[in-house]
Chains A and B, each alone.
Chain A
C-alpha cells in the first residue's frame, strides 16, 4: 500500500523509525507538505552545511585560518622547496610530504565536520517524567529548585551526575554542556576553535590523529626547509639562497611558532589518552590524587596500552541526533521551558508553534527561560490530528 508520491515514503505498516532514512507518516488524504529535515530545527548553536551532512560550531573564523595556514605553508613547500629537494636528495621527500598533508587535511575535515557526540535534548515527556521524579524526591516547590544532582557509583568511585537545565537531562558521566555550541556532548573533551567544533566522543580520535600528524608534518616541513636553505647556501651563499627561495623564510617562521604549541598539545593529549581522561577532567582535577586518597579514575582500564587502544581503535558510536532525518508531526518536539511548572503528557508537543524565521535567529541564550516560540516548527499538517496552536506562556 503506497501512500505518497515521494519515493522516500514507506508503506503504512508498523515499522521502526530508522535513523538513516525518512519515514514520514502521511496518509493518502493529506496534502503533501514540504518536509523539513531535523537539522533545520536543531536547538543548538551549530551550523549545518550540505543539507545536514556537515556540522560545525557557530564561530568558524579560526577554522578557516587553520585551513589557510596549512594549505599555504604546504603549498609553498611543494612549489618552492620540493623541486630542489627532489632533485638534490630524493623524490621520496615530496611523496612523504604529500601523504602527510593528505592525512592532516583528512583528519582535520573529519574532526571539524562530524558530530562530536551531541546528546539530543529531552522530549517534553521525558522532561516531565524527570521533573516528576525530582519533585517526588525533593518535595514540590513553586519555584525553580536548586541544582539537581544524582550520585552513581562507577567501578567503586562515586560520580555526581548533574542535571542540565538547557537540555533537560541528567548528563551521563563524562558528558558536559558546551556553552559555545549550547549542546551537551558525550565524553566532552573541549571546544576547539581551531577546528571549529567541539571535541567529544565521536571525533576525539580524529582530533588526536590530526594534531599528531600535524606535528609530524610541521617538523617534517621545518627540517626539510632548513635542509633546503643549507644545501642552497653551499651552492650560492646564504643570502643568495634566501633571495632565491623567499617562501622558505615564511615557512620556517610559521613552522617554528606552530611546532611548540602543536607538539606540546600532542604530548598532552597522548598523556590524556594513556590515562583515559578528558581535557575537561584533567583541568578540573577530577581524578587527581590531590582531591583525596581514594580518588582514582574509574574509567581507566588500568594499563596504558588498553587505554590507548580503547580511545583510538574502539567502536565508533553513531550520531544520536539524526540530522538528516525528516521531522514527523507526531513525534514529540523538544521540551518547552518549564519555569517551575510541570507538564504531563505530550499534548503540549502536538501543538505547532508557528514562528517566523527571524525569531529563530534571535534565540536567547538563557536555558530554562527560553521563549517557547524560539524554535521553528513545521507547519501543521492538514488533518484532524493536529491541534490549534496554543498561546505562548
Chain B
C-alpha cells in the first residue's frame, strides 16, 4: 500500500462518516473499549479481525494501567525524587502508548487501509472512542 493512498485516506477521513467504538465501563474506570461489532462495518471488514484489534488494544491499555509491583516501584521512585525523574525517564503509560501507536499504524497499513478504513488512535479523541472513518 503506497503512502499516497493513506495520505488521501487521512485527508478525506475528516470529511467522511465515522463509526465510533465507545468505552466499556463495566470494569470500572480502566480504559477498555467495547468489542461489539458495529453494523456499519458489516460489509467492510471481518468480525474476527475487528474484534482482535479491539481486544489487543484493550490488553495494551490494561498493561498501561496495571497496578502491581512495577507501577508501585515507579511511583515510589518518582515520589522520592520529587518527580524530577520524569524529566529523563518516560512513564510506563507513555511507553505503552507509543507501543499502541505503532500497533495501530501497523494494523492500518496491513489490514484496514486495504479495505478503505482507518483507525484513529484513541488518545487523539480523549481515550473516549476508537473512531473508524469510513
Say whether B25 contacts A315, CB under 8 Å. Answer: no
Interface presence of A323 (CB below 8 A) = no
CB within 8 Å for A345 and B17 given contacts A14-B108, A119-B128: yes
Tell me if B45 counts as interface (CB < 8 A to partner A). no
Interface status of A341 (Cβ within 8 A of chain B): no
B41 CB–A CB distance under 8 Å? no
Q: Decide if B28 touches A155 in the complex (CB within 8 Å).
A: yes
Chain A residues near B65 (CB-CB < 8 A): 314-315, 317
Chain B 82-114 against A: per-residue CB contact (8 Å), 1 yes, 0 no? 110000000111100100010011001100010
Scan residues 282-304 of chain A and give those whose CB is less than 8 A from a CB of chain B.
298-299
Closest A residue to B129 using CB positions: A126
User: Given contacts A152-B25, A155-B28, are A344 and B101 in contact (CB under 8 A)?
Assistant: no
| Partner of A173 from B6, B14, B28, B108 at Cβ < 8 Å | B28
Contact with A along B105-134 (1 / 0, CB 8 A): 100110001000000010111111101000
A306 to B72, CA, bound (A): 11
List the A side residues contacting B71 at CB < 8 Å.
Answer: 313-315
**CB of B29 closer than 8 Å to a CB of A:** yes
Whether A315 contacts B91 by the Cβ 8 Å rule is yes
Given known A-B contacts A310-B67, A315-B93, A320-B126, A106 and B82 have beta carbons under 8 A apart: yes
Nearest CB of A to B43, in Å: 19
Q: Which residues of B contact A126 (CB under 8 A)?
A: 18, 20, 125, 128-129, 131
Choose, from A16-24, A82-90, A252-260, the stretch at the interface.
A16-24
Query: Which residue from B20, B29, B126 sits with its C-beta under 8 Å from A129?
Result: B20
How would residues 1 to 45 of chain B score, 1 for a CB under 8 Å from any chain A CB and 0 otherwise? 001001100110011111010010111110000000000000000
Q: Which residue of B lies closest to A130 (CB)?
A: B20
In the complex, number of A-B residue pairs with CB atoms less than 8 Å apart: 138
The answer to whether A349 touches B14, judged by C-beta atoms less than 8 angstroms apart, is yes
Q: How far is the CA of A172 from the CA of B127 in the complex (A)?
A: 10
Give complex CA distance A209, B76 in Å: 12
Q: Does A96 contact B (CB under 8 A)?
A: no
Which residues 81-119 in A have Cβ within 8 Å of B in the complex? 102-103, 106, 110, 119
**Contact A17–B18 (Cβ < 8 Å):** no
| Pairwise interchain contact A120-B126, C-beta atoms closer than 8 A | yes
Is B49 located at the chain interface by the 8 A CB criterion? Answer: no
Highest count of chain B CB atoms <10 Å: which of A14, A187, A309, A331: A14
Cβ A106 vs Cβ B128 within 8 A: no
Q: Is the CB of B105 within 8 A of A19?
A: no
Contact across chains for A12 and B7 when beta carbons are under 8 A apart: yes
In the assembled complex, the CB of B53 is this many whole angstroms from the nearest CB of chain A, namely 15
- A contact residues vs B (CB 8 Å cutoff): 12-19, 25, 102-103, 106, 110, 119-120, 122-123, 125-126, 129, 152-155, 159, 161, 169, 172-174, 186-187, 205-206, 209, 298-299, 306, 309-310, 312-318, 320-321, 330-332, 344-347, 349-350, 385
Q: List 8 A-B contacts (CB under 8 A).
A: A126-B125, A187-B29, A309-B72, A315-B91, A316-B78, A320-B127, A332-B14, A349-B14
- Which residues from chain B sit less than 8 Å from chain A, CB to CB? 3, 6-7, 10-11, 14-18, 20, 23, 25-29, 64-67, 71-72, 74-76, 78-79, 82-83, 91-94, 97, 101, 104-105, 108-109, 113, 121, 123-129, 131
